Every structure is written in structure tokens, then in C-alpha cells.
Structure 1
Amino acid sequence: MRQILIYCLLSLPIMIMLGWFYFDKRKLKRKEARRAVLNAKPLAPEYLQILKTQYPLYSRLPEELQRKLVSHIQVFLDEKDIIGRGEFDVTDTVRVLIAAQACTLLLNRPGNYYPGFRTILVYPDTYVASSTQHDGLLQVTSTSTRAGESWHRGPIVLAWEHVLQGALDSRDGHNVVMHEFAHKLDEENAAMDGLPLLPTAEQYQQWSQVLSAEFAVQQRKLANGDDDVIDSYGATSPAEFFAVVTETFFEKPQQLQRHHPKLYEQFKQCYLLNPLEWRELNQS
């Protein structure tokens, strides 16, 4: 009897682990099945009209990528909660334009629809955020106005005025939604360090070499006050560099490829896309 009891006690953790594994596997299968249904579902006509009239980048996409974007939007809107702050009313236009810009980054990337968080908070305009820094025993709290931010393993915060501007103008190199969701791609490997998950293991060494060299160039240009197609904010950290170049890659591909061909090639491999092939670029 004692041996049986010991055996049962030793087996209990294994049984619990197996139970959780079985539960997780079933949960994953249900999620995959629901996503398959949503992927095949046609987008509501009023949602499609929002894409056509207020997100010009959608019309530049090849038809295959348009279909992928529509499919991704369906899943995104099902799995993310978009909540208004400061008495802001979240309309269909708000939901569709946030989803469309976020899902543009996922068009060809194998991924999981930005796992690890669910909530997107939207303010009507730039908002005031506070941050606290510690220097020994000294604690310094400061405030700043922001257009967006991404909390590690937490929500994304966006200012609607900047979301709408980013959607309507797909050629100015600035897109707050793409920027903040690039941070979410960055943190999928547990650290927000400018190194997202890449499609193949062979890419990591070259990615590290190219981005380290290009980041150093941007830091020198920032110190010297030199202009570049890449916004100077990208020189503040590797994480911001990845997010800023993501904006540039999708919105100013010709200029990025012309001035930073090696960097453009790395981002083309990262996103498995080539925006230079899309319609109606006509960028200077």
C-alpha cells in the first residue's frame, strides 16, 4: 500500500503536466479552427469601403496581399480589444484602420497575431504620459506628450489623430501604428532589443551585422545633425531603430533601398515583402 501511495504521489505531477498539455493542445486547435473560419469570412462592405477610401496603401497592394490583409483584419478584430480613453468613441473606422495598419506587418510573416497582449487604448489626440527613473536613492518623475507607446507584455496606446494621419498618408515615413506594433514583433523573443523573430535561423547573423553597422551610422548622423531618410529617433536605441526603419520600409521603400540597400534587403527578408513592387509608388 505504501509503495502504491508513493507511486501515485510521484505520478501526480506528470499527470498534471499531461493534463495541461492536453488542455493547451485542445485550446490551440479551437483557436486555429476559429481563425480559419474568420480568414475565410468576407469583410463587411462598409469595412472594405473604409480600406479603399482611408487607407491608400491597401489599393497599392497586389490582389493576393489585399486578400491576406482582409483575412488578417478579421482575426485581429476578433482577438484584440480596442478601447477608447478620454471619452473617445471607438467607431468602425477606428477599429478597421488600426487593424489594417497593424496587420500590414503580418501580410507574409508566419506569426501569431501579436501574442502576449490583448488591449489597445486609443486617445483622441496626443496624450500626457508620466515616466519614473531612479538614480541611486533619487526618484525622478517626468511627463511627456505622446502619439503612441507599447508596454512590454502590456497594452498598446495610440492617439487617434496620428493613427488617422498615418493611414491617410502612406508616403511620409511616419506611421504610429506600424511603429508600435513593430515593437510587439520585437518582443516576441522575450526582449525588446531590435531583434525580431526571423523566418530562418540563417538570417540572424547577417541581420545582426547589417543592423549593428547601420545603427552606428545613424548614431553618428544624429550626433552631427545630419539628415537621413530614416528618422533620427531611430538612433536612440536598437529597439527604436527597428520600429523606425519598419515605418520607412513600408512608406519610403524607394528612398530606403537607394540610400541603405543592405538594410532594405534585411527588412525585405524579415517581412517577406518587397514594397517596391507595389503599385503607384512615385516617390522622389
Structure 2
Amino acid sequence: MFFFKGRRRRKLRGRPLRPVWIETLRRNLGFYARLPESDRAELHGHIRVFLDEKEFEGCGGLQLDDEIRVTVAAQACVLLLHRKTDYYPELRSILIYPSPYRASRDVADGSGVVHRRQDVRLGESWSHGTVVLAWDSVRRGAVNPVDGHNVVFHEFAHQLDSEDGRTDGAPILADRSHYSPWARILGDEFERLQQRRKGGRKSLLDHYGATNPAEFFAVATETFFENPGQLKKKHPQLYGQLEGYYRQDPAGWPGGNE
């Protein structure tokens, strides 16, 4: 089974992308032109596999098209460059809404009584095989590669985080020896972000990352790819851990140090 899956994926990666898809990448992805040529070629192959294996579903009246699929797939696959990957093995479907959508969740108050609450969301990652995204937020985050916000990077970082069965801010690392510095550095940075949020002080990292370690990893991933030069300057140890995990140095891309 694994042999046939590997052979099928190699064949898919060997097929060139359609010219209209490449034009979509150039138009919709602000970071695409900054990628090294070898990375763009690798990304094209990953997009082919991703689109073949994952199901997309339009929600809230959204009519899916190739522009939506390719734009989402490309950003999800940037996180896979340079690494051995099984293409988000637990992920089966991507649900796309046209704009921010409402979702319900249960919240316990101080006395332990559970209340049903409705939130407006840009995206979410489910542990049982689904990512949900708002298309206008996806496109806005893709076109502007330096605003520090990218809902696809964020939600697919959660998918990577959950591959070991726990969404806890510690994805599967290449070697057991890497877990100790990862926990120490990301733990320290998480605590500092919590203190900055509590004190109302600005931070390069979005304050939402202070919610819990899983959200910190997702927010740090957004910042790593969106504001790499600033992250490397202001949080060099955090940048180093993410550079080692993703095996990429986006601060070294043209314009990456801005």
C-alpha cells in the first residue's frame, strides 16, 4: 500500500502545474515571487499531491473553483517544504466559507455552569480530519505576506501539531534530543507573551498566541513566515527553533528581512 501511494505521489509531483494555476499563485500569493526557484518547483509538486488527496467543500453558498483550491493548497504546502511529509495524514476535508462564519462552543462560567456561545471565526482546525476557512480571510492573508496574519498557516500549523495525537504546541520533531530546547525556548517565549498581554504591551507576536501553547505555536508559525526578519531580530532563539523544524529560512528570502 505504501509503495503504491509513494509511486502515485511521485508521478503527481512530476506533472507540471497548469499555467493558469501558476498565474493564480503569482497573483494571490504575495510571498510566491520571493521563494527560491527550487522551492517553487518543490511547492508545485506538493500542490499536485495535496489537491489530489484532499476534498474541498464550499459552505454558506460559496462556489468552489480552482483559484480557491490552489490558493489554499499552496499555503498549506509551504509548511511542508524541505521535510519528509505524509501530507497532513489525518486531514480529509477543507470546508470553505465565503467570509467569517459563526460556530458554537460550550463555555463553563465561574460556577461550573456550561453555556452555549456563538463565535465569529476566520478558521479552525479539527482533530478529526477537517480544516475550516473563510475565503476572504484566506485571500487577504495570502496577498499581503507581511501583515503578520495568515489563517492558512495558522490552521495548518495546528494540523502539524496534532499529528502525534495531541495539540499542545509540540509537533513531531526530527530527533528526541530536540524536544528539550523546544520546550524550554517556546515555553519561555509563551510566558513572556502572556506577560505582555497581561500588561497591555505590544508584541510582534499576536497576543492570541498567549491563549495556550498550541495557539502560541500557530501564531509563531504565522510570524515566522510573515515577518521573518523581525522575528529573527527580536526573538532569535524562537526563530532558530522554527527554522530547524520547518527547515526553511524565510528571513533569507528576497525581502525577508524587511
TM-score (norm 1): 0.88
Aligned length: 257
In structure 1, stretches of 5+ residues that fail to align are 1-26
Quote the RMSD (CA, aligned, Å).
1.2
Name the % identity: 45
CA distance in 1, matches of 2:13, 2:236: 34
Give the drift of 1:137. 7.1
Does structure 1 residue 234 correspond to structure 2 residue 193? Answer: no
Deviations 1:133-157 (A, max 9, x none): 3568733100010000011123110
The DSSP-based 3-state class of the residue aligned with 2:13 is helix
Give the drift of 1:30. 1.4
Correspondence for 2:56: 82
Correspondence for 1:102: 76
Correspondence for 1:167: 142
Task: Output aligned runs, 1:111-260, within 5 Å.
Answer: 111-134=85-108, 138-260=113-235
Correspondence for 1:50: 24
Find 1:263's aligned residue among 238, 250, 256.
238
In structure 2, stretches of 5+ residues that fail to align are none
On the 8 A contact 1:110/1:199 being kept in 2, the answer is no
| Range with greater deviation from structure 2 (34-43 or 126-135) | 126-135
Task: Output aligned runs, 1:28-67, within 5 Å.
Answer: 28-67=2-41
Correspondence for 1:8: none
Structure with the higher helix share, 1 or 2: 1
CA distance in 1, matches of 2:123, 2:27: 24
Does structure 1 residue 69 correspond to structure 2 residue 43? Answer: yes
CA distance in 2, matches of 1:116, 1:282: 34
Q: Please tell me the residue identity of whatever aligns with 2:114.
A: Q
CA distance in 1, matches of 2:249, 2:256: 12
Give the drift of 1:58. 1.2
On the 8 A contact 1:38/1:74 being kept in 2, the answer is yes
Q: Please tell me the residue identity of whatever aligns with 2:84.
A: P
Deviations 1:44-96 (A, max 9, x none): 11101111121121110111101110010000000111110011011111000
Q: Please tell me the residue identity of whatever aligns with 2:35.
A: L
